[in-house]
Amino acid sequence: MQPVFPVILCGGVGARLWPLSREQHPKPFLRLADGQSLLQKSLLRCMQLPGAQTAYVVTNRDLRLKVEDDWNELADAALPLHFILEPCPRNTAPAVTVAAAQIARQHGEDALMLVQAADHIITNQQAFAQAVATAMTLAQTGKLVTFGIHPTAPETGYGYIEAQGSKAIRFVEKPSEEKARAYIEDGNFLWNSGMFCFTAGHFLSEMRQHCPDILEDALRSIPAQPENPASLELDALKFSHVREESLDYALMEKSHKVAVVPCNIGWSDIGSWNALGNLQPADMDGNRLLGDILTHQVQNCTVLGENRVIGAVGVEDLVIVDTADALLVAHKSKTQEVKQIFNQLKSLNHEAHKYHYCVRRPWGAYSILEEGIGFKIKRIEVNPSQSLSLQMHHHRSEHWIVVAGIAQVVNGDKQFLVRTNESTYIPAGQIHRLSNPGKIPLIIIEVQSGAYLNEDDILRIDDCYGRHN
């Protein structure tokens, strides 16, 4: 079997799946009912392909540790994992370009790439493997291969490909319902899956012909001699100058070498609450319920609850999602517009667009217990033998009270232990660090005071997890 290098794009926020999806916990990391994340399902899918070699994950540098956590949970993770770390999102064309350049450098220009998103579902692994084998054969002849999904409904949330056999005629953006129905009746239109297969060299050659600016700017962002070839960190300033564009717009709609593999692989782009809800079995009233949910005269609703009892009475065609710090109520016909709420939160610099109530960190987790004007109270849990970064805040002071375990504290030029029922005070501007030297979790209550209390008020001086400010 010819070797193939999976490339998994793990960069989108998934704003339509707010409030579960947040900027620092985006859609690929959402856990489904079986306990696996969408990213884990993508990784497993790649590992099961005949001929699969090193997997390349293109993601934001701040998400590297979350990817590693998901990877490490997979007991049969047999493939090597390489990272391409973006300092900022520039869409799929620059992401795939950098991946192709790195694969060509490490494995040669004839190396086959299989590009897929980290947040898709494919339920028929055998059919997927057969489609990939067909795509690999076409790619070795110089084709840029895309995968077209036989449509099962006039879906308005997907793009379409008009095809004749394996020839792609044209790409069509998300249509109106009327046009989508016409495409289904025509019989020559496929859903655009956003998955691709090609050799690294052929892809780079076509990029050079059709969008040389993206190619050249993306290549300039790649370090000539990376410190760690398995974790390629792109130059922040240079990559920020790369034109932001999707691969479909930049290349696939322009190239004359595009082929399509029509397939039925149980594919779904989990791009809305309707799509995610459909993964849950429906009850006799068409409701899809997950959590402690009680209903009376409720029909065709998707209801998800994390912590509280939810009661619904006399409603239909709604999506209700309740998390610890946010509640979404939307009509099913409007789930594509949930991103408007996310965008409003982001424009207001509200932390609900970026973080969950409980925020996971490589050293443990924290939860916001209460906040108001000039103060914020957190519960912080540090895992045994783990440590926060050596850091400083410009605008806030912190008071730490140990409620379980023993804390090792750096506070300015002093280092000392703080035991249960003891506390310490960190003035604004003071360099500090919190560590857990013990064998049980360290739990502290942190009281912040200051004029600005958002999480971006942090200057990391040293960090054992390689995180940046």
Q: Token pair for residue 208?
A: 């050079």
Residue 208, pLDDT > 90, answer: yes
The secondary element (H helix, E strand) that includes residue 444 is strand 442-450
The 10s digit of each residue's pLDDT in 248-273 is 999 999 999 999 999 999 999 888 99
pTM for the model stands at 0.85
Q: What mean pLDDT is predicted for residues 159-173?
A: 91
Listing DSSP states for 124-157 in one string gives -HHHHHHHHHHHHHHHTTT-EEEEEEPPSS--SS
User: Among 31-40, 238-247, 392-401, whose mean pLDDT is lowest?
Assistant: 31-40
User: Among 32-36, 192-196, 409-413, 449-453, whose mean pLDDT is lowest?
Assistant: 32-36
The 10s digit of each residue's pLDDT in 31-43 is 988 889 999 999 9
Query: How far is Cα 159 from Cα 172, in angstroms, rounded to an integer?
Result: 6
Domain ranges in the chain are: 4-269, 273-337, 357-462
Q: Token pair for residue 385?
A: 């033998």
Residue 75, pLDDT > 70, answer: no
Instruction: Name the CATH superfamily housing domain 357-462.
Output: Jelly Rolls (2.60.120.10)
Residue 423 exposed, middle or buried by CB count within 10 Å (0-12, 13-18, 19+): middle
- Cβ-based neighbours of 276, under 8 Å, separated by 6 or more: 17, 30, 270
Report the topology of domain 4-269: Spore Coat Polysaccharide Biosynthesis Protein SpsA; Chain A (3.90.550)
Question: Quick one: pLDDT at residue 197?
Answer: 98
Question: Quick one: pLDDT at residue 65?
Answer: 86
Identify the CA nearest to 258 among candidates 148, 198, 168: 168
